[in-house]
Structure 1
């Protein structure tokens, strides 16, 4: 049994993978079982910021373990990956806010959608990272393809003038879901499904609520978000354990981050421009260092560039939207099309 725990799996001993998943399971149980036993609990901005700080601190602390166990380079790659994934998560938060607002989901019920959305995201992200790891280690030129995609995605955010009005209540996905399944017109507390009479047959049948519809859209948004996110982290490191753990810690704080950013979404109109530059930089890093082998860019340089771009985007947005609290400013071209890029 001891030998099995120390056996290699995806480049790391089995005990390390088991220990990480035990930690994640404990955090989810703590969040669900202790912090939010009240299904109708509405998370305020203060609580959201505290939870965000809690999860981010844990993520950084785990990075300290990576640094201690595997050395400075692995530690720097993990921290860089965590910051990049957390930065890109902000983009996803804005899309989720538009989905829940468009479907009329009250704040008291939103945290339940986000919790189950996070659970699904952890599973889906694990599958996508596993596939990405297999491709990267078997077909090395796939990194160049990732780089091209990241540069394209960043350029599309910067230069596309396509508008998105965020009418999720009448989107093709919503119309298909309502045609295919029974959906109640109103919410039923925090329930995803109810049993009630079908007027067509006169018999009791299973109905989905608008909360279930919101969960489908949120999970769909995360899948599309991961198309950018997973190549971005593999562009920083190909160590599967570092990729996976930094990604999952970034996701865990997403629900807490949502309630803080959603209340101030109008103040971050220019943040997506910074995220676009981050994607382009990471893509160019692969082209320069891996594809052409011109010179290597250390992980700490990637971390510094990411932090500078992210901080600059946040500060510039806050400066440009000063005095506009309560009014949504006219977004720049990158903002108008960013939702279409994601969902």
Structure 2
């Protein structure tokens, strides 16, 4: 896929404009977005992603369009799973509902910047060393096994990462909320507010999520431009999705198993690709395996992704309807009071 430099620049500029609009216009007034507002903006972002895929199809063909759609769906599905942790973070820090939208927007912008760095490093690595696909594949299979084993049972056991703990211990902080301010003055001293800690937690937590989401999408497409744009579109609607399906997340009791299957599938796909391109001396004498079936076609990947997500969603919703509240709490963690709002 040949992407001209000006396309990269235009993509970056449009991304900045969209997030700036979301941050400065939509989020200028701290408030809890209504269902209508979330649905409207989420529909716009999803529509933009679908139209972008059509543009890829018209300019570069069906193969790359399929890779974009598959990568976007994978990133979106992983983002939905991440919303469980975001809910726990908001609850842990008792973030006022009217400030949650602003905190999410800043955290998402931070996540996008850090993911862009990850993507650049990952693209450079796979271009120089084909054996990286072995590492990515094995890591995803391990992650899938761990996710399936946990099965969402530890969703309520979030622990602050070391960077957040370091900041909390080393810098003077206040427990008082000061609106959208990240810093405030108390007793003549400059202190960080709880909102600063929350945003730092959201951003760094998403960076940890990128450790499996970035290798996963490289298992779908090797094109850095498609990897980046799929991540951009997945993050664009994440804030609206947080408010729109907060209660619905409680009913997606088998989401972890569906995502575990997807990560395992992509991990195997990466290992197959590594074998097909093998250059590791102690594997097959450094020669690649010349079997066409080792390269799983994008149409099959897309079918597996859509099918898995559909089956997982339907299976979860049907099963949750037959469960008592106590059983749902055991599967996905206890329902939080803010979800009733």
Q: Same fold (TM over 0.5)?
A: yes
Q: Which residue of 2 aligns with 1:33?
A: 24
RMSD (Å), alpha carbons: 2.4
**CA-to-partner distance for each residue in 1:215-248, whole Å, 9 max, x for gaps?**
1111121011000010011111111111111111
Q: Does 1:85 align with 2:113?
A: no
Task: Indicate how the Cα distance of structure 1 residues 108 and 161 shifts in structure 2: closer, same or farther if over 3 A, else same.
Answer: closer
Asked whether the equivalents of residues 183 and 190 of structure 2 are also in contact (C-alpha less than 8 Å), the reply is: yes
Task: Tell me the SS of whatever aligns to 1:207.
Answer: strand
In 1, the alpha carbon distance for the partners of 2:60 and 2:330 equals 44
1:317 Cα shift? Answer: 1.5
CA deviation string 1:182-221 (max 9, x = no partner): 1211211222111111xxxxxx121111111111111121
Deviation string, structure 1 residues 152-196 (Cα, Å, up to 9, x no partner): 100111124896363658887665433211121121122211111
Question: Which TM-score applies when normalising by structure 2?
Answer: 0.86
**Count of residues in Structure 1 that have an aligned counterpart in Structure 2:** 318
CA contact (8 A) 1:63 1:75 kept: yes
Q: Which runs of 4+ in 1 moved over 3 A?
A: 160-177, 323-328
Q: Report how far residue 330 of structure 1 moved.
A: 3.4
* Residue ranges of structure 1 left out of the alignment (5+ in a row): 1-9, 198-203, 337-343
Give the TM-score taking structure 1 as reference length: 0.86
Query: How far apart are 1:70 and its partner, in Å?
Result: 1.2
Residues 25 and 222 of structure 1: CA distance in aligned 2, closer, same or farther (over 3 Å)? same
User: 1:182 corresponds to which residue?
Assistant: 172
Describe the shift of the 1:166–1:330 C-alpha distance in structure 2 as closer, same or farther (beyond 3 A).
closer
Mark the CA change 1:62 to 1:328 in structure 2 (over 3 Å): closer, same or farther: farther
Q: Measure, in 1, the Cα distance between the counterparts of 2:225 and 2:257.
A: 30
Distance 1:171 1:232 in 2: 23
Q: 197, 213, 227: which is aligned to 1:243?
A: 227
Partner of 1:143: 133
Q: Which residue of 1 aligns with 2:193?
A: 209
Distance in structure 2 (CA, Å) of the matches to 1:243 and 1:44 = 31
1:45–1:263 contact (8 Å) kept in structure 2: no
1:325 deviates by 9.0
Partner of 2:319: 320
